[in-house]
Amino acid sequence: MRSAVAGIAPGALVVGIFAGEALGPSASLPTIVLGCIGLAAAVVTRDRALRAGLLVLALACTGCTVERRALDGLRHWPLARSAELRADVVVRGTLVDDPDGTRWVTHTLLRVEAARIVGHRRHPFVDVHRTVLVDAEGDATGRVAVLEAGDDVVLRGYLRPLDGFDERLRWRHVVAGLTATDLLDAGGPASPLDQVANAARGFVLRGTDALPPTERALVAGFLLGDTRDLPDAVVARFRNAGLSHLLAVSGANVAFVLALAAPALRRLPRATRLGAALALLVVFGAMTRWEPSVLRACAMAAVAVVAVYVGRPAHAVRLLALAITALLVLDPFLVHSVGFLLSVGASLGIALLAVPIAARLRGPAWLRDSLATTAAAQVGVAPVLVPVFGSVPLVAIPANLLAVPLVGPLTIWGLAAGTFAGVVKTSVPPLAAALQWPTRILADAVLGIADAAARVPISVGAGTIAIGVAIGVAIWGIAVGGSVLARRRRMLRQRALVLPSR
């Protein structure tokens, strides 16, 4: 029963989230009350089926509540009217993302802690605690571009409502835009977590300075999900080859990090090992700027680590369900994140289909497992790829079969060698450059695979996939129906053979 509830919990939560989106912004007091009543009733009832139903109801109410409250936060905030009037303001806050852009404008997200309207003495700094999109222009462009996530800044500019393509950022809790014309002050991160994460990130990236620009940008994407310097043509080739997931940090990267740290973790006492593993996940998440796919991977890994610690290891599907449930309660807007949905789809596909597919294949175990995992992941992400991009490249499976085995060594070596090279770069430059030779060879190989696969112009559109799914469902239904009828006939024959006893 617990496994069943864990499996349907994300679905109930998602239904509640979309219901909350349909109802619109609100403090949502009725659903809070209903959810608490459902949870309390589930705790006291002894009937398992009723308890499961009450928990599902409580989760649906929770989803509705957190969504409506999140939408309410976008609409009602201290400077909402000032944004509509495009008021001139001075803001204090912390950068959420690493700045990106062109020579003329730099974009980033800023968590505004306080702000004041310029030219009004009666308007002191007021608490804001909202995220805005910063477009730094003029003299502020270059000065903002050299900063990084976690830095504290004071900016002057004018607020504006989100419009056009920028409206999609509201699903990242962005309430307005800020056209920054001047950077009044800037300082390093105040948070110890940001300080550690930025230092570790700096070591890794500095260790790759000996690589050519494209290879260096590709390695930064593999290791940290940082694709800002990757040429658009390369990004397009990876997308057309079905390899774009390699440019996003996901569960494989988290697994590699834990594998690198495993020898040190095993030497620690049991309780300390748990704390160190969770701390490592948090630091790595901060290094990758908490991208949605990283959130899913770190949350799932944290649940798995805790489950092993308490002596109750669980199936991957249950771990995924628990991780998704926790993340959606904290941030219901993740249901609109393509990266999050792709990560969840790939993980679910692998958890459900990899073993059955491998069991039906022939050949060496390493080939069967690789092919099964790749095919299962592609099936899992297809429901997301088709609506978003319109098709799924057929070359994705062979391309992944060739590229994925190279990504593991590239990631592990890149993290280890990049960190060490970053330390010895100033003292022993030739050693730092030599450490990156394997990294360059592996990166060039992956680039070559993506380039070759992207030249294959064959893909499967939404209509073809829909027909295939319909045929598959029909065949599955016929098979299940035939199995049920055959079983029923066997039971009738067995009953006919049984003689009545006196």
Q: What is the pLDDT of residues 155-207, one digit of tens each?
A: 999 999 999 889 999 999 999 999 999 999 999 999 999 999 998 888 888 88
CB 39, CB 58: distance < 8 Å: yes
Q: Judge whether residue 5 has pLDDT over 80.
A: no
What average pLDDT does range 304-308 have in this prediction?
Answer: 87
Contact 16, 63 (CB under 8 A): yes
pLDDT in tens, 41-79: 877 787 777 877 888 888 898 999 999 999 999 999 999
pLDDT over 70 (residue 462):
no
Task: Kindly tell me if the per-residue pLDDT of 501 is higher than 60.
Answer: no
Residue 401 has pLDDT above 90, yes or no: no
Backbone angles phi, psi at 115, to 5 degrees: -155, 160
Q: Which pLDDT tens digit goes with each residue over 88-133?
A: 999 999 999 999 988 889 999 999 999 999 876 666 788 999 999 9
DSSP state of 413: H
Lowest mean pLDDT among 29-43, 163-177, 219-233, 454-468: 454-468
pLDDT at 338 over 80: yes
CA distance 383 to 401: 21
Nearest to 432 by CA among 418, 443, 414, 416: 418
Cα–Cα dist 481/156, whole Å: 68
pLDDT score of 392: 65
Parallel/antiparallel/unpaired status of strands 174-187 and 126-137: parallel
Average pLDDT (229-257) is: 84
448-473 mean pLDDT = 63
Tens-digit pLDDT profile for residues 252-305: 788 878 888 888 888 888 889 999 999 999 999 999 888 888 888 899 999 988
| Predicted pLDDT at 122 | 63
* 497 pLDDT higher than 60: no
The total number of residues written for the chain in this structure: 502
- Furthest-apart CA atoms within the chain: distance in Å: 102
Nearest to 255 by CA among 366, 376, 415: 415
| Residue 88, pLDDT score | 94
Alpha-carbon torsion (54, 56, 58, 60), positive or negative: negative
Within a 13 Å sphere around the CA of 183, how many CA atoms are in the beta-carbon half? 24
Give me the phi and psi of 149, to 5 degrees please. Answer: -55, 140
The dihedral through the CA atoms of 460, 462, 465, 471 has a sign that is: negative
C-alpha 303/C-alpha 278 separation (Å) is: 10
Task: Determine the Cα–Cα distance for residues 64 and 461; give it in Å rounded to an integer.
Answer: 34
Record the pTM.
0.83
Distance (Å, rounded) from C-alpha 153 to C-alpha 415?
Answer: 30
pLDDT tens string 142-159:
999 999 999 999 999 999
